[in-house]
């Protein structure tokens, strides 16, 4: 006869279940199962009543997860939490600067090391981490919208531009130009597909830079 444990899960057990589900969303070979695992992970995460636990799971995924697609999912979870907090007029970590302050080091990593990369290294790096970077750049556009600027910690935008966005843009230009000039990806992927991704990344960075400039001028 099966035995069941009654009562709510401990925070540690809850986080372990979320981690297991989230890893399935990144690793399962079946696309439908990956999507189902992602949907279930998102639903369970947003349903937890404790904002600090939700923030802990998001920041831990951003900091420690080795899968770029899953880190991109964490970016979307953070965005959803900010939207929910605003729509519900909540008073929690996601309705103040706390969430972005906690996530900033992992959400906007220092990309200045890319400035020393060779063409091949820049291509390989950006192609491998494209899902994360495109999610982050889009998120940066989202939080520099006037509806959410109050959630941005003082001075964060300048730091992000200097340490993350600026070097990333230079690496994007370098990698895209190299591919345009005949460089190979050496990633076992279609060269044109990589070029399209890099072009999209560059276009989104340009949009974000204009958005930031507009926001700072107002």
Tens-place pLDDT, residues 19-69: 999 999 998 889 999 999 999 999 999 999 999 999 999 999 999 999 999
Name the token pair of 73. 């999912």
The reply to whether 96 and 120 lie within a common domain is no
The vertex-25 CA angle with 134 and 72, nearest 5°, equals: 15
The reply to whether 173 and 95 lie within a common domain is no
For residue 5, pLDDT over 70 is answered with no
HSE-CB at 150 with a 13 A cutoff on CA atoms is 9
The pLDDT-based confidence of 213 (bands split at 50, 70, 90) is: confident
Domain boundary among 78, 107, 136: 107
The reply to whether 103 and 113 lie within a common domain is no
For residue 166, give the 3-state DSSP assignment: helix
Give percent helix, percent strand, percent coil of the chain, each to the nearest 5.
Answer: 75, 0, 25
- The pTM of this model reads 0.90
How far apart are alpha carbons 6 and 188 in whole angstroms?
A: 50
Q: How many residues does the chain have?
A: 218
Its domain, for residue 148, covers 108-218
């Amino acid at each position: 006869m099966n035995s069941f444990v009654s009562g709510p899960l401990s925070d540690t057990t809850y986080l372990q279940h979320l981690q297991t589900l989230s890893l399935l969303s990144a690793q399962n070979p079946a696309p439908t199962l990956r999507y189902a695992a992602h949907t279930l992970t998102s639903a369970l995460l947003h349903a937890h009543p404790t904002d600090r636990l939700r923030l802990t799971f998001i920041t831990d995924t951003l900091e420690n997860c080795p899968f770029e697609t899953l880190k991109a999912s964490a970016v979307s979870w953070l965005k959803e939490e900010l939207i929910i907090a605003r729509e519900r007029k909540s008073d929690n970590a996601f309705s103040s600067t706390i969430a972005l302050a906690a996530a900033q080091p992992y959400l906007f990593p220092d990309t200045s090391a890319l400035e020393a990369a060779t063409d091949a290294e820049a291509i390989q790096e950006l192609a491998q981490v494209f899902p994360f970077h495109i999610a982050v750049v889009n998120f940066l556009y989202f939080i520099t919208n006037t509806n959410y600027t109050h959630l941005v910690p003082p001075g964060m935008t300048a730091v992000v531009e200097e340490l993350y966005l600026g070097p990333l843009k230079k690496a994007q230009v370098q990698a895209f130009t190299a591919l345009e000039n005949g460089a190979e990806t050496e990633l076992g992927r279609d060269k044109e597909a990589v070029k399209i991704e890099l072009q999209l990344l560059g276009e989104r960075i340009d949009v974000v830079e204009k958005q930031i400039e507009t926001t700072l001028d107002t």
